[in-house]
């Protein structure tokens, strides 16, 4: 049986309440399986723990108008953005098709920096399977180690960045 979440309209979303067990304290490995009508939308953040209007800005990820994957990391205290990293090339997916994306954030690359790596995968496998991922462009490096902000907001999946999270 195929199971999925359909978030069809601007402003639609699904979220979880905040819980200490959801806090990320080290490296992060996000794996997403999406079917997008448009893989080159105006920048659209689809998954994260990030509410711009309330200042609860931990992290969020999505696709920009060039088809590149973006990862936004909030700063300590939630007042703004520490860094925005994006893949150096666009995803290889056609509009209206399914795609698997992986974002790995290494908060200490042993050189005192934060690395963000982007991957895609076809054929489609269960997201828990570690094989088959192909790096999307080059590793993006932000100078300095990162500490995750732990604001009181849950995870959200949305059709727009109005509620991501």
User: pLDDT per residue over 89-142, tens digit each?
Assistant: 999 999 988 899 999 999 888 888 889 999 999 888 888 899 999 999 999 998
Please report where in the chains the tokens 């399977």 appear, as a residue. 129
Tell me what pLDDT residue 108 has: 84
Q: Tell me: pLDDT of 50 over 80.
A: no
Q: What is the mean pLDDT of the chain?
A: 80
Tell me what pLDDT residue 109 has: 86
Write the pLDDT tens digit of every residue in 57-80. 777 888 899 999 998 887 655 556
User: 38: pLDDT confidence band, cut at 50, 70 and 90?
Assistant: confident
- Is the link from the previous residue into 144 a cis peptide, with omega within 30 of 0? no
Residue 137 contacts residue 112 (beta carbons within 8 Å) = no
Tokens of 82: 């520490």
Please report where in the chains the tokens 């399914």 appear, as a residue. 98
Q: What is the CATH number of domain 13-19+26-163?
A: 2.60.120.200
Write the pLDDT tens digit of every residue in 1-11. 456 666 666 66
List strand residue ranges (DSSP E) for the chain, in order: 13-15, 28-35, 44-51, 56-63, 69-74, 81-86, 98-106, 113-121, 134-135, 140-143, 156-158
Tell me what pLDDT residue 164 has: 42
Whether the pTM exceeds 0.75: the reply is yes
């Amino acid at each position: 049986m195929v199971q999925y979440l359909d978030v069809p309209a601007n402003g639609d979303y699904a979220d979880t309440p905040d819980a200490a067990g959801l806090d990320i304290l080290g490296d992060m490995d996000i794996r997403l399986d999406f079917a997008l009508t448009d893989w080159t939308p105006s920048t659209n953040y689809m998954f994260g723990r990030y509410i711009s209007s309330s200042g609860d800005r931990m992290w969020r990820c999505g696709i920009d108008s060039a088809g590149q994957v973006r990862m936004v990391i909030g700063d300590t205290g939630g007042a703004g953005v520490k860094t925005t990293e994006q893949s150096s090339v666009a995803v290889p997916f056609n509009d209206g098709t399914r795609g698997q994306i992986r974002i790995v954030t290494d908060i200490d690359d042993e050189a005192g920096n934060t690395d963000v790596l982007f991957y895609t995968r076809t054929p489609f496998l269960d997201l828990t399977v570690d094989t088959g991922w192909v790096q999307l462009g080059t590793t993006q490096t932000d100078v300095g180690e990162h500490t995750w902000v732990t604001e009181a907001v849950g995870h959200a999946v949305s059709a727009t960045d109005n509620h991501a999270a």
